[in-house]
Amino acid sequence: MPELPEVHTTVEGLKKVIIGKTIENVWSDFYIGAKHNDRQNIKNKKYFEKFKKIVTGTNIKDIERRGKNILINLNNDYTIVVHMKMTGNLMYGLYPENKFIHLKFNLSDKKDLVLADMRKFASVDIFKTEELKQHKRIGTLGSEPLDPKFTAKKFFKIFHTKKYPIKSALMEQNLLSGIGNIYSDEILWEVSIHPLSRTDKIPEKQFTEIFKTMQKILKFSIKEGGDSKSDYRNAFGEKGNFQNFHNVYSRKGDKCPKSKCRGIIERMVIKGRSAHFCPNHQLIYK
């Protein structure tokens, strides 16, 4: 699933090409064969017809990221909310017929903004911009890891009273928004903390290290264009490079790359999510 760096990279790419463009038409087949056709998103045909009516003819004012969500703000005071889920990619350009493209915005520059999604898990809906805090996903999101106002002290305050495994806590979107499997694994490997460590047992000094490392890794991935280990492509259909710098994620059975560590990378499941770690140098607080 695209995480903060991938969504950020997509948004920054689209900012260069779609702001100021008019949406002249919208097409989708997301609702065909949808198992839950009563959802309040475009997988419901009636909802899509309403969606199409609201957005057609509007001008794109801005595009931003919140957590793993893409917000496309329109000049009629509505916002298109896109969550790419596992295999979604929001891309701009000229696209011929493609069986994985399930949403297409025809823009005034005669190019398209498309959502390609092999597994059709992506979610797209429309919401009044001024009411976004009431949106079921947006309204419950926690702190943004790269917000300049977000500090190590605030980070510690959020987590130290919880009794979660640190791996799960980092991915809890109502505590901290935008981080998933890839970056939680990489962060914890770097700071030598075991993913099962309880948040209420980890000292503040270590939380400060987690905070600094989290920001460093996220910024580095953004610089590298995100992670394309799986399906992610940026706004122009290009792969990112962060998958070339994995130390632990998806490296089960490999030797730990940390200097002088003789551990072998292991994988476990914590609350339904996979965790990759080195049992040798990643210490557990419990």
Check residue 63 and give left, alpha or beta (phi > 0: left; psi -120 to 50: alpha).
beta
What does DSSP say about strands 112-117 and 101-107: parallel, antiparallel, or unpaired?
A: antiparallel
Q: List active site positions.
A: 2-3, 68, 273
Q: Is the pLDDT of residue 271 over 80?
A: yes
Confidence of residue 80 (pLDDT cuts 50, 70, 90): very high
- Decide: 247 and 155 in contact? Cβ < 8 Å: no
- Domain made up of 152-277: CATH architecture: Orthogonal Bundle (1.10)
How far apart CA 184 and CA 201 sit, in angstroms, is: 18
Mean pLDDT of all residues belonging to the chain: 96
The neighbouring-strand residues paired with 269 are 274
| Cβ neighbours of 136 (radius 10 Å) | 11
Confidence of residue 277 (pLDDT cuts 50, 70, 90): very high
CA atoms within 13 A on the CB side of 109: 13
For residue 164, the model assigns a pLDDT of 96
Q: Which residues make up the CATH 1.10.8.50 domain(s) of the chain? A: 152-277
Q: Is the pLDDT of residue 38 over 70?
A: no
Q: Which residues make up the CATH 3.20.190.10 domain(s) of the chain? A: 4-66+68-140
Give pLDDT tens digits for 239-259.
Answer: 999 999 999 999 999 999 999
Give pLDDT tens digits for 137-153.
Answer: 999 999 999 999 999 99
Q: Which fold has domain 4-66+68-140?
A: N-terminal domain of MutM-like DNA repair proteins (3.20.190)
